[in-house]
Amino acid sequence: MVKKKAKLIFKHNSFEVVEEGDYVLCAITGKQIMLKDLNYWNVDLQEAYLSPVEVKERLKRLK
């Protein structure tokens, strides 16, 4: 099964699929996040995160 990277627009409570795919990449780790498992993102930065750990890391880097 070939996996394809999706292109999304992140909104406050959802995301819009611009280009169909199976996953997005975590902005911190670069690991694949399957769309069904995607729970963390930043609307302003338009970035996806694997878990709250990566969210915390991004916030730390922004300070």
The beta strands (E) that lie in 20-63 are given as: 23-25, 32-34, 40-42, 47-49
Residue 13's pLDDT is what? 95
pLDDT at 40: 98
Confidence of residue 2 (pLDDT cuts 50, 70, 90): confident
For residue range 13-55, list pLDDT tens digits in order.
999 999 999 999 999 999 999 999 999 999 999 999 999 999 9
Query: In one letter, which amino acid is 46?
Result: Q
Q: Is residue 1 pLDDT above 90, yes or no?
A: no
What CA–CA distance (Å, rounded) separates 40 from 7?
A: 15
In contact, 11 and 17? CB cutoff 8 Å: no
Q: What is the signed CA dihedral for 31, 42, 34, 36, rounded to 10 degrees?
A: 160
The reported pLDDT for the residue numbered 56 is: 97
